[in-house]
Amino acid sequence: MDRTKNRLWTLLICVLLSAATLATYWPVVHYQFINFDDLGYIIQNPHVRAGFSWQNVRWAFTSGYGSNWHPLTWLSHMLDGQLFGLNAGRHHLVNLLFHTANAVLLFLVLRRLTGAVWRSAFVAGLFALHAVHVESVAWVAERKDVLSTFFFMLTLLAYERYVKVRGQPRKGSGSRSAPKGFGVQVRGQQPQPDNHPPFSILHPPSSFFYVLALVLFVLGLMSKPMLVTLPFVLLLLDFWPLGHLQFSRPNGMGHGGTRPYHRTLVLSVREKIPFFLLSIASCITTFLVQEHGGAVAELDIVPISHRLSADGFGASLSAARGHAALDDCRLDSAAARALIGRPGACSAGTVPGRRMVLVFGHTRPCHRAGAGWDAVDG
């Protein structure tokens, strides 16, 4: 009964999140294109306006147009051009639908990671309605932002399933939590072979979800290379809330003579090597494309001192935005402390969640994970 009730609440929250997001941003469907990037990306781009063709698909994967390489974003714009032509409202609507889906996916990700339904709903609501996301929804050229976030959320879901399935015993595969005496022949019984069961569509192995996470990550990188920090986010999730990352090799033995399901930092990093390699490849590709497009300034034009000053200004601006976001939330100190002390409050990477970590300075695992997320993804 409790499981059914939780599913009903989850469904209701997803519906309410979707309705609130659509209602808040619905005016964008009446907006026109703007004269900043929308012209070059859509209106004056013959490949996007012409829609799908083999020539245009090849252009999407081989072009560094706009000093960017994000073929999946181009394909998304091409589909809009094929379906809607230059109807700006429909292009805005697609951005809105992606943002709505991202808010729902964030709720589902946090709920699966932390098990906290209402706190996850609160964080997803902040993500959905916070003003910092207006640019991504109301600017058609920012399709790359909502599209890459969509695959980012799906990657987190796939990785969560990989970790959970890997930590669960499978029938016939030798259980980590096997009862005492497992694997030892008992008098009067024949020994049972320890064979791995065949692949099942209903119960795929953990390797399936690992490969799925890699594929979704690649799709996200092809939408916007901003996702290069995702391997670090996965390491943070190993630490919290998945909680199976240790910084030293476990000494104890689990049931049945097996080690407890914990990993050292080295093993966890090694597991992320394919993700790191994809991030490195994306960084190199992005640098080469932007250098070829003239978007990379030489040191004699923009010296190191100016670059460091710009970084400092950006950090100050981010902190100022965090102050404003916290003020906008209208949360008193007691309420904020209650929120930040709960799982799911600071792991979403939202500006209010990040700021609360800095303001109240707690040292719980969720706060460290939230601060780490802010550092690698902020």
Task: Please say whether the beta carbons of 151 and 73 come within 8 A.
Answer: no
Q: For residue 221, give the nearest of 159, 276, 163 by alpha carbon.
A: 276
This prediction has a pTM of: 0.76
User: Which DSSP helix (H) or strand (E) runs through 124?
Assistant: helix 117-129
| Residue 166, pLDDT score | 84
In eight-state DSSP terms, residue 203 is: S
Q: What is the pLDDT along the chain (378 residues), one digit of tens a residue?
A: 477 878 889 999 999 999 999 999 999 999 999 988 899 999 999 999 999 999 999 999 998 888 889 999 999 999 999 999 999 999 999 999 999 999 999 999 999 999 889 999 999 999 999 998 999 999 999 999 999 999 999 999 999 999 988 876 554 444 443 333 333 333 444 444 444 555 566 678 889 999 999 999 999 999 999 999 999 999 999 888 888 776 555 554 444 444 444 567 888 889 999 999 999 999 999 999 988 877 776 656 656 666 566 555 555 555 555 444 444 433 333 333 333 344 334 444 444 444 444 434 455 666 566 666 555 655
| Residue 101, pLDDT score | 97
Residue 293 and residue 131: Cα distance in Å, rounded? 32
Spans of all domains in the chain: 2-169+204-249+261-296, 301-378
Q: What are phi and psi of 245, to 5 degrees?
A: -100, 125
Q: What is the dihedral of CA 132, 377, 19, 81, to 10 degrees?
A: 80
Q: What is the largest CA-CA distance in the chain?
A: 83
